[in-house]
Structures are given as structure tokens and as C-alpha cells.
Structure 1
Amino acid sequence: MNVLDGLERVGELASSYFVVWILVFAGAALVTPDSFTWITPYITPLLGIIMLGMGLTLRPVDFERIVERPRDVAIGAIAQWVVMPVAAWALTVALSLPPALAVGVILLGAAPGGTASNVMTYLADGDVALSVSITTVTTLAAPVVMPAWVVALAGEQLQVTFAEMFSSIVQVVLIPVVAGFVLRLVLDRYAPRVAEAGLNVFPAVSVVAIVAIVAAVVGANVESILTAGVVVFVAVVAHNAVGLGAGYGVGRASGMSEARVRACTFEVALQNSGLAVALATAYFSPLAALPPALFSVWHNVSGPAVATYFSRRSRAAPTDATPAGDD
């Protein structure tokens, strides 16, 4: 087995047991929080590494797809931008969440789509190209859309401006994504084997970074988890459920093919919780980072479950699902 095969095996192993690693290290952080709280100052750089990895997965053809299928991309992106922030705000009101937790839920709702949606779409036999296109659009628009929603929904609780959040999101999301995209272009042209190695190893790097972020937030909020953990978990589960239901409903109502409906389902429901954690830690409090950290755990439970259901339905009735990319 050569080096590239070894890297691919490591990446597959890390991704396949992602939920296990999160649960193990989150549990360890509850028992020995001091072992993980030292990671807190590094949350933003870790997110930058994750976004660099996302940039490495992008190619010019992904942007061509956005132009080729603007209708479905627009529907998925708008649904994600509208449904999740409004649902987050409604849940903070319905559950009477304390200000810090409310800000965390709203940050989560306003976040762009996460790369987990692409993985779940693939596992569900959905349209991966559409999923990647929607994730790309919502991520590139995040510096404007995310602070706008946060200011609108939690303005009276904020001590941070739109411009400050815009600047932060550009630094930790947009710049790393663009850098990864450019690096991929250069490597594909001059060192394709290195590019292949990077694509194989970065899933494992991303898993390590996400697990570290979740463990750090859990370690910093042990007391809050033990006292307010139930209501936060209810908010996170309900938020994710609304996203899954709305994404599926919007896809169906707009006449998308089955494969694209599945992509829309995950794009609306699965947020970039790491970005919400980073902004909560930087501008608010460790407690505000708790809802998106718990979401990182939960959506890696609900996502595979829904993907498995879709996949089994495809096998039971192959004609029900339009192959990815078909119009």
C-alpha cells in the first residue's frame, strides 16, 4: 500500500467514525474539562483550517454548475437563509432562552451551510453537485448574510457591530476558502499527486479540528451543560428538525427531482456550526458557543439517520430517485 492509499484509509476511518470521536471526546471533556479548555484560544484558527480544506474541494466546474442551474441553487440558498434564522429566533422565544444561549442559537441559525451537508447528500444518493453549489453560495455570502441576520434578530443583546462580524467572517471563512481554491488550481496543474494527497488527508484534519472545537466548548461549559443542557438540546434538535422538514418541503414544492430534493433537505438543515462557535467565542461568551457545539454532535446523528432512510428508499424503489445531475 503506497502513501496515497494510506492517507485515503486514514481519511475514510476518521470520517466513518466521526460521531464516535465527537461523543468520546465530548464525554471526556465533561469528565476532565481542563484537558480541553486550553484549545479555546485556537478555535478560530482551527475553523480556518477547516475552511481551507473546503476550498481545496472546490474546482472551476463547481462555479460553472451554479451558472448552469441557478434556479435550484437559488431556491436552496434562499430557503437556508430564511428558514434557519427565523426558526432559531422563534425557538429562543418559545423556550425563553437566556440571552447568551439565545445569541448562540441565532448565530447557529444565521450560519451558512456546512460541508457535512455534501457528505450526507452523497450518502443519501442525492445530487452532490447541487449540494456543493448551494454550500459554496451560502459560504461566499456569509460575510454579509450572517451578521445581517444576527444584528436583526439579536441586536439589543449585541456589543459587536455588523462591520466587526463581517471582517471576522471574511478572515476565517472567505479568505481560507479562496486560498484553498487557488491552491487546488495550482496543485492540479503542477503537482496533481500532491493535490490528490491533500484531498485524501484533509477529511481527517477537518475531523480532528471539529472534534477539538466541540471538546473545548464542552469543557468550558460543563456546569451550564449540567444545568441547562436539556433545554439547549431541545432547541438544537428542534432547529435541525425544522431545517430537515423545510428543506424537503421546499424541494418538493418547487418541483425538484428526488435527488435534488435530498440535497435541498441537507443544505437547509445542516449549518456551519464551527463558524457559529468561533464567532460566539470571539464576541460573546463560552456559553453562547454551547448551542452550535451541541449542534455539531446532533447533526452528525440526525444527518446519517436521514441519509440512510433516503438510501434505503432508493434501493427499495430505484425508479423513485432521479440520478444526481439529471434534469
Structure 2
Amino acid sequence: MDSALTTVGLPVALGVIMLGLGLSLTVRDFTRLLSMPWTILLVLGCQILLLPLFCFGLVLVFVEYFDQSPLLAVGMMMMAASPGGTTASLYSHLFKGNVALNISLTAVNSVTAIVTLPLITGFSLGYFTDGGSIGLQAGKMIQVFAVILVPVAIGMFVRAKMTAFAERMERPVKLGSSIVLVAVIIGAIAAEWENLPQYIVSVGLMVLIFNVVSLTIGYWAPRVVGTERPEAIASCMEIGLHNTTLSMTIAITVLNSTEIAIPSSVYGVLMFFTAAVAGALLTRRGAREEKAEAAAGGT
């Protein structure tokens, strides 16, 4: 997959996506978190600590008992460490979640990933590849930071200084990045078409298990502690829909490994279907709960 489309197109697409995220962020997105600190801490704890730990255990099982490739194991850990994506806000909106919470969580997750993603990637490379030549050296770690932080910082700066311009540019930037990203993904799939069935077989079950667990924990962890349903739906989508573009880009352009990118690419397709199913089930459950509450109130 070492083509101009992936080595140039994918970083450009990611840069534009992260720039678009920065254009949509304001200080208010961060201060809004103060109104629900415990919910935020719970969701971030699940996403930053609990799920990577679960993924690590899952990967160990597949490596030990299913002879999973070490590089695919690294790719799973990178995917698990990637922050929630902007798609989570769309799904949250469709299924009556708290979209403002999604925006705030995406903002915080994107900033947190500047630290956590390189650390988890470096640990995974050292653990699963025995410190091989593909390790995340200091220069590459700085490159990871730059890929994430610089476009977001530029976008936020433009938003703060030229708000009207930033608002006008949000939609064109998102559209442009989506077109480039789709082209890159199609090109990448075409380049690896012969190996695609093998990749799906290699990581399909592992990715599916992790995705279902992510969506489940995302919804039920907040509900168990009494969080309202709209916030729990927002959490479900934020934790279940990862920014796999970010982890794919780092795998291909920074680590020069198509194999490490495979779990992210499979997850990036699968999550749209599982999140839609989860949203439909939660909507049906919510309707039943509202009906039961109305019946109880009428008696």
C-alpha cells in the first residue's frame, strides 16, 4: 500500500479532517464539561483506561490461542486507543442522544489522544514485536503528535480569530476531506484486494467482539450510576465509533505498515452497522420505558 494515494493522500485527508474538527471547536466545548464532571470522567475512564485494557486482554487471547499476527495485535491496540470520531455526533443526533456531550467528549478525547495514542502504540510495539525495527522512536512519536495536534490547533486558532470564516468553511472542509478519504480508502482496498478476505478472517471476530463490548459499556456504564438516557446514548456512540482514520494514517504513514492498519480499516466499516443496530435497539428500549412510565403515572 506504499503509493502516492496513501503516503500523500491519507495524511492530507487526516490533516483536513483534524483541521475541520478544530474549526468546529470553541472554548465553550470544553467549559461545557463542567456541568457534568462525573459523567465526563466516567466516559473518559472507560475510553482511555477500561477499553484499552479489555482490548489488550482480548488480543492476548487471540495471539495465544489463535496464532494472531503480532502486527495485527498492535493494530488492534492502536484502534482501541484512538479517540471517538465526529461520526459519533451524527449517530447520537439520529438516536436522540446528547449531541453537545458528544462534541465536548470528541474535543477532550482528541486532545487526550495526543498523549495516550503514542504511548499505547509504543507499548504495543515493544510488547508484541519484541522491540523490533518497527518500533516507535522519538522522532516518530513527535510525528504522531504533529499529525493530531497541529491541524486541530490551527483550526481552533482560526475559529477564535475569524469566527464567521470558520463557520462558513466547516461544511466545505468536511466535504473535501470526506471525498479525499473515500478515494484513499477505495485505492487502499483496491491495492490489497487479493489479501482482503484473509484480513477480514484474521481480525473480523476480534474486531466485532471489541466493537460490541465498546457499545455495551458505553451505554450501560453511565446508566448504572444513574446517568440519563440521552447522555448514555451519547456515551455509547462516542465509545463505539472510533476515529479509525487517525489510527490508519499513523499505521501507514508513520509506521509504514499496512498490516497494522488492517484492524482500523475493518473496524471503520463494521462500526457503522453495529452502531445503527445499537441505536435502533436503544430507541426501542426507550420507547418501552416511556410507555411504562406513562402507564405508571396514569395509575
**TM-score for the superposition, normalised by structure 1:** 0.78
Q: Which amino acid aligns with 1:310?
A: L
Q: Which amino acid aligns with 1:136?
A: A
Q: Using a 3 Å threshold, how does the CA distance of structure 1 residues 103 and 219 change in structure 2: closer, same or farther?
A: farther
User: Please, which of 145, 155, 161 is the counterpart of residue 180 of structure 1?
Assistant: 155
What is the deviation of 1:107?
A: 0.9
User: Please, which of 215, 226, 230 is the counterpart of residue 201 of structure 2?
Assistant: 230
Q: Secondary structure at the match of 1:289?
A: helix
What is the deviation of 1:319?
A: 7.7
Q: What is the alpha-carbon distance in structure 1 between the residues aligned to residue 44 and residue 184 of structure 2? A: 26
User: Please, which of 267, 288, 294 is the counterpart of residue 260 of structure 2?
Assistant: 288
What is the deviation of 1:145?
A: 0.9
- Verify the 8 A CA contact 2:85 2:241 in the aligned structure 1: yes
What do residues 231-253 of structure 1 show as CA deviations (whole Å, max 9, x unaligned)?
Answer: 31222211111100111121112
What is the deviation of 1:48?
A: 0.8
Q: Using a 3 Å threshold, how does the CA distance of structure 1 residues 309 and 203 change in structure 2: closer, same or farther?
A: farther
What do residues 31-71 of structure 1 show as CA deviations (whole Å, max 9, x unaligned)?
Answer: xx9xx954111212211111111111112221211233222
Q: What is the alpha-carbon distance in structure 1 between the residues aligned to residue 3 and residue 277 of structure 2? A: 31
Q: What is the alpha-carbon distance in structure 1 between the residues aligned to residue 167 and residue 286 of structure 2? A: 31
- Verify the 8 A CA contact 2:200 2:266 in the aligned structure 1: no
- Verify the 8 A CA contact 2:43 2:235 in the aligned structure 1: yes
Q: Using a 3 Å threshold, how does the CA distance of structure 1 residues 164 and 264 change in structure 2: closer, same or farther?
A: farther
User: Please, which of 219, 226, 243 is the counterpart of residue 190 of structure 2?
Assistant: 219
Residue of structure 2 in register with 1:267 after alignment: 238
Q: How many residues align?
A: 283
User: Please, which of 221, 224, 248 is the counterpart of residue 277 of structure 1?
Assistant: 248
Q: Identity of paired residues, percent?
A: 27
Q: Which amino acid aligns with 1:294?
A: V
What is the deviation of 1:289?
A: 0.9
- Consecutive unaligned residues of structure 2, counting only runs of 5 or more, are 294-299
Q: Secondary structure at the match of 2:259?
A: coil
Q: What is the alpha-carbon distance in structure 2 between the residues aligned to residue 185 and residue 319 of structure 1? A: 45
Aligned CA RMSD, in angstroms, stands at 2.4
User: 1:307 and 2:279 equivalent?
Assistant: yes
- Verify the 8 A CA contact 2:13 2:178 in the aligned structure 1: no
Q: What is the alpha-carbon distance in structure 2 between the residues aligned to residue 84 and residue 132 of structure 1? A: 20
What is the deviation of 1:221?
A: 2.6
What is the deviation of 1:314?
A: 4.6
Q: What is the alpha-carbon distance in structure 2 between the residues aligned to residue 122 and residue 182 of structure 1? A: 27
- Verify the 8 A CA contact 1:95 1:231 in the aligned structure 2: no
- Verify the 8 A CA contact 2:244 2:267 in the aligned structure 1: yes
What is the deviation of 1:77?
A: 1.1
Residue of structure 1 in register with 2:40 after alignment: 73
- Verify the 8 A CA contact 2:16 2:173 in the aligned structure 1: no
User: Please, which of 20, 35, 39 is the counterpart of residue 5 of structure 2?
Assistant: 39
- Verify the 8 A CA contact 2:30 2:108 in the aligned structure 1: no
Runs of 4 or more off by more than 6 Å in structure 1? none
- Consecutive unaligned residues of structure 1, counting only runs of 5 or more, are 1-32, 322-327
